[in-house]
């Protein structure tokens, strides 16, 4: 059942729309990021022919709905209530195939963005320039510049310069798609400034160079400190999480096979050959902190662990506040449903 008009569900679980022309790679992105599908397996995916909804609830912070729209569907047709679709949307991801002629995609993008903005000016518009693995570095930059220029010129011609489009070069064959989705999801997390502030305080008092707060299931990073993100650094973190989870699944269970491979005792230390140490610690059931530390700073591991304990406690407090808000909204939503009149006009009585 496609329930677009549920104010509680979109408030607690922001809605992300995945749109674009046919064969642009929308379903492949979803399968690789959230279903651990190998990129090569996506070659055998059938074309999507109906709207698919998926609830992503991996952790307390990665909590949203993804709606995958088939490229051939004209949702501006009078039979679709496109206003209801856009009204509760947090982000609209439009996927453009960089290896194809993208003029038709740009025309569809302009139509989609202008209609969506009129209904909901608060939508984040995210443009994935996809399948860039087949382009040279120079061609990638040239393609991004061309798409960026044309898309913004179209908006300027329509008098809509105030609409902001974010552009990302993506491919399912490297970590760029995970980083792009991380940036999209971060904009939908109301606690993001608090998390970034906590990370800044943690690294400045611990002698740490860089820290990421990761969702271990999807490898999306929920937050990072204020220093710039380097793609190679992010890839190392993703690889470390894979190693930790794989080894934990082999050796982290009890003799009888019970227990969980990832728990509060989970931690890992990897020393790189450039005098840098990678340090991973469990924060919550689904979140991990991955830090980059110089070897000389890591000698004060006791100080780092003490500061981490304070950091984890603060994260748990943020989590508890959010859970109280969610429970309060659920209660209000339940009361509103009970107040709605029945088909014969009498009010519903609470059970």
Residues 170, 208 share a domain: no
Looking at residue 4, what is its pLDDT? 40
- CB neighbours (10 Å) of residue 158? 12
Residues 202, 168 share a domain: no
Residues 213, 166 share a domain: no
pLDDT in tens, 127-139: 999 999 988 989 9
Query: How far is 221 from 213, CA to CA, in rounded Å?
Result: 6
Q: Is residue 146 part of a domain?
A: yes
Each residue's pLDDT tens digit in the chain (351 positions)? Answer: 334 444 434 445 788 999 999 889 898 998 898 888 888 888 888 777 778 888 876 555 667 888 888 887 776 677 777 788 888 899 999 999 999 999 999 999 999 999 899 999 999 999 999 999 988 989 999 999 999 999 999 999 999 989 999 999 999 999 999 999 999 999 988 888 999 999 999 999 999 999 999 988 888 899 999 999 888 899 999 999 989 888 888 887 776 666 677 778 888 999 998 889 999 999 988 889 999 999 999 999 999 999 999 999 998 888 787 777 767 766 776 676 666 555 555 555 444
Q: Which two tokens stand for residue 112?
A: 């989609």
Residues 46, 149 share a domain: yes
Q: Which two tokens stand for residue 16?
A: 């992300």
Q: Angle CA(173)–CA(176)–CA(178) in degrees, nearest 5? A: 95
Residues 180, 64 share a domain: yes
Residues 162, 218 share a domain: no
Selection from 69, 278, 64 nearest residue 187 by Cα: 64
Selection from 65, 324, 315 nearest residue 214 by Cα: 315
Residues 216, 310 share a domain: yes
Looking at residue 112, what is its pLDDT? 92
Q: Is residue 337 part of a domain?
A: no
Q: Which two tokens stand for residue 211?
A: 């820290």
Residues 60, 177 share a domain: yes
Residues 6+ apart with CB under 8 A from 87: 4, 5, 119, 120
pLDDT in tens, 13-28: 788 999 999 889 898 9
Q: Is residue 3 part of a domain?
A: no
Selection from 268, 290, 269 nearest residue 216 by Cα: 290
User: Among 131, 155, 188, which residue terminates a domain?
Assistant: 188
User: Among 167, 188, 209, which residue terminates a domain?
Assistant: 188
Domain span at residue 244 reads 191-322
Query: How far is 322 from 311, CA to CA, in rounded Å?
Result: 17
Residues 201, 159 share a domain: no
- CB neighbours (10 Å) of residue 103? 9
Q: Is residue 118 part of a domain?
A: yes
CATH number at residue 274: 3.30.450.190
Q: Look at the chain and count its residues.
A: 351
Give yes or no for a contact between 181 and 33, defined as CB atoms under 8 angstroms apart: yes
Q: Is residue 53 part of a domain?
A: yes
The count of structural domains within the chain is 2
Residues 156, 66 share a domain: yes
């Amino acid at each position: 059942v496609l329930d677009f008009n549920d104010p509680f569900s979109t408030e607690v679980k922001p809605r992300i729309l995945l749109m674009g022309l046919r064969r642009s790679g929308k379903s492949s992105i979803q399968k690789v990021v959230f279903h651990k599908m190998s990129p090569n397996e996506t070659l055998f995916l059938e074309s999507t022919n109906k709207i698919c909804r998926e609830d992503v609830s991996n952790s307390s912070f990665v909590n949203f709905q993804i709606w995958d729209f088939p490229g051939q569907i004209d949702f501006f047709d009078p039979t679709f209530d496109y206003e209801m679709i856009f009204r509760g949307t947090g982000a609209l991801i439009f996927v453009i195939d960089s290896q194809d002629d993208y003029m038709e995609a740009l025309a569809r993008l302009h139509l989609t963005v202008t209609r969506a903005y009129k209904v909901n000016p608060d939508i984040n518009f995210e443009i994935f320039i996809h399948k860039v693995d087949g382009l040279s570095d120079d061609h990638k930059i040239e393609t991004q510049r061309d798409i960026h220029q044309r898309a913004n010129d179209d908006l300027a011609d329509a008098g809509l310069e105030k609409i902001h489009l974010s552009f990302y070069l993506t491919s399912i064959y490297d970590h760029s798609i995970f980083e792009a989705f991380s940036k999209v999801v971060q904009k939908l997390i109301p606690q993001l400034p608090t998390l970034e502030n906590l990370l800044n305080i943690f690294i400045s008092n611990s002698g740490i160079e860089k820290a990421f707060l990761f969702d271990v299931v999807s490898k999306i990073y929920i937050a990072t400190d204020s220093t710039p993100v380097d793609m190679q650094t992010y890839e190392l973190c993703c690889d470390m999480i894979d190693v930790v989870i794989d080894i934990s699944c082999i050796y982290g269970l009890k003799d009888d096979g019970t227990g969980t491979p990832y728990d509060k005792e989970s931690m890992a230390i990897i020393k790189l050959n450039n005098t840098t140490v990678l340090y991973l610690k469990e924060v919550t059931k689904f979140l991990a902190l991955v830090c980059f530390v110089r070897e000389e700073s890591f000698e004060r591991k006791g100080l780092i662990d003490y500061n981490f304990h304070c950091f984890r406690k603060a994260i748990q407090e943020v989590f508890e506040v959010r859970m109280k808000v969610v429970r309060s909204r659920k209660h209000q939503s339940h009361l509103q449903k009970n107040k709605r009149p029945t088909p014969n006009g009498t009010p519903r009585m609470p059970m």
